[in-house]
Amino acid sequence: MKIELLYWEECPSYGETLTRLREALREEGLDAGVEMVHVGTDKQAVALHFPGSPTIRMDGRDLFPASDAVVGLTCRVYHTGDGRVSPLPSKEMIRQALRRHVHSRKGG
């Protein structure tokens, strides 16, 4: 299992996202490190299909795919379960996404 946190330095929410991601991994019993991937140029953003900072990928798949995402050096927004918009996913959102991903890897 490969977990990446893609970030752009100008976006301040990646640090708290990393904290929440590590806590969610621990709470879900997943023994995995997080690879930090700095995206610093528009060329990198395009090559990585980077929809903004912070982005969490597991085995190359965005845990929060968005069909309307714009690729580039920008801060990303997340829609919470209660209808709010946030610059980072909640820990519960991350936990649910981890569960979905692990379940899909098991084939069902």
Instruction: Indicate whether 105 pLDDT > 80.
Output: no
What CATH number did the domain enclosing 36 receive? 3.40.30
Confidence (pTM): 0.92
The whole-angstrom separation of Cα 21 and Cα 91 is 7
Q: Domain range spanning residue 83?
A: 3-105
Residue 106 pLDDT? 72
pLDDT tens for residues 19-66? 999 999 999 999 999 999 999 999 999 999 999 999 999 999 999 998
Give me the pLDDT at residue 102, please: 85
Query: Would you state the pLDDT for residue 5?
Result: 98
The domain total for the chain is 1
